[in-house]
Amino acid sequence: MGMAQIRFVNALRDAIGEEMRRDRHVFVMGEDVVAAAFGTTAYLVDEFGTQRVRNTPVSESGFVGAAIGAAMTGMRPIVDMMFSAFLYVAMDQFVSNAAKIHYMFDGQYKVPVTFICMYSAGSGQGSQHAECPYTKFMNVPGLKVLLPSTPYAVKGLLKSAVRDDNPVLLFYHMETARVVGDVPEEDYVIPLGRANIVRNGAHATVVATGAMVTKAVSVADSMGKEGISVEVIDPQSLVPLDEASIIGSVERTGRLVVVDEAFGRCGLASEIAAVVGEKAFDSLDAPIKRVTSLDVPVPASPPMERFVLPGEEKIAQAIREVLG
């Protein structure tokens, strides 16, 4: 299988284009998708035209509802939401319609729609943009939630999402949008619900998400020089969650640190800690540690933002604490 070095955002765009060529029912819609403000839909209008690359008004509730309706009639929309905080404006469409229609109509309707959006804590853009809303959507039965951190992952997961008959939300971090990595030249998919063991280790397990994966690996590499062996797992798919890979790792290492950029209260880190506490408690040699953002609005001031967000120093401290 041939490999190419591709930037994350280009891998996302390539996945969209390939799915549009594969299936005429796939189309793109959203604010400024023709101009491609973030690059995720760049040049697609040149090939597919404005019927399949459709700009929408600045009305998230309206165009999310339109996408749901299109999906119910057999289309497979890909909706670029731009900033993830914009999802809140259409919350009722996601929770009351996209997530429930298949159930409420006894399976007679499917809702194969994919939403992509960027979150950007760490870039000094203020609390209304520095959001990690994926935890809110994890709590809604009927929605699938993805959080890829590499070009390889985003392409394979996006393809799986578009081919899935359920509504899927794919989040990506502004930092990861610039990451370059190996991507197969051939068609491939990554099944939803499969974690990636980024780095093998024996003394502690770190489950990290999004932009935190790179920071966790950096800490693991640094600690490796001290003889401390840290395993790093990237869940990639939050709903469904690959519990087996996480539990299997904890059974080998006996210790768990969960690193997530979202807030700690009722968040992803809490969910993973609860799963391991319920299903692998006897394997734990130390209490589970969570490294998350503080439960305050994220400041725009860069020094204050760094104080609020997880970072390498906090990750390293948590690992040392579980190691005793």
Q: What is the pTM of this model?
A: 0.95
Known catalytic membership, residue 129: yes
What does the pLDDT read at residue 298? 86
pLDDT tens digit sequence for 268-286: 999 999 999 999 999 999 9
Per-residue b or e along 114-139, where b marks 16 or more CB atoms closer than 10 Å to that residue's CB: bbbbbbbbbebbeeebbbbbbbbbbe
Length of the chain: 324
Domain coordinates of the chain in residue numbers? 3-184, 196-323
Over residues 144-149, mean pLDDT: 98
What does the pLDDT read at residue 123? 66
What does the pLDDT read at residue 122? 62
Tokens of 18: 């390939």
Q: What is the distance between the alpha carbons of residues 59 and 36, in angstroms, rounded to a whole number? A: 17
Q: Is 286 exposed, middle or buried (0-12, 13-18, 19+ CB in 10 A)?
A: middle
Over residues 32-40, mean pLDDT: 88
pLDDT tens digit sequence for 133-143: 999 999 999 99
Structure confidence at residue 124 as a pLDDT band (50, 70, 90): low
What does the pLDDT read at residue 2? 84
Residue bearing tokens 């594969």: 22
Phi, psi of 291, rounded to the nearest 5 degrees: -120, 105
pLDDT tens digit sequence for 64-110: 999 999 999 999 999 999 989 899 999 999 999 999 999 999 999 99
Is the domain defined by 196-323 classed in CATH 3.90.1410.10?
no
Fold matches, 3-184 and 196-323: yes
pLDDT tens digit sequence for 195-228: 999 999 999 999 999 999 999 999 999 999 999 9
Give the SS3 label for residue 292. strand
Q: Is 272 exposed, middle or buried (0-12, 13-18, 19+ CB in 10 A)?
A: buried
Over residues 293-318, mean pLDDT: 92
* pLDDT exceeds 70 at position 48: yes
Q: What is the distance between the alpha carbons of residues 133 and 117, in angstroms, rounded to a whole number? A: 10
Of 25, 102, 129, 203, which is the active-site residue? Answer: 129
| Beta carbons within 10 angstroms of residue 43's beta carbon | 12
> Which spans in 225-311 are helix H?
243-253, 268-279, 302-308
What does the pLDDT read at residue 1? 67
Per-residue DSSP letters for 186-198? Answer: S-----TT--EEE
Q: What is the distance between the alpha carbons of residues 170 and 157, in angstroms, rounded to a whole number? A: 8
CATH class (in words) of the domain with range 3-184: alpha beta
Which residues fall within 8 angstroms of residue 160, CB to CB, at 6 or more apart? 189, 190, 191, 192
Structure confidence at residue 51 as a pLDDT band (50, 70, 90): very high
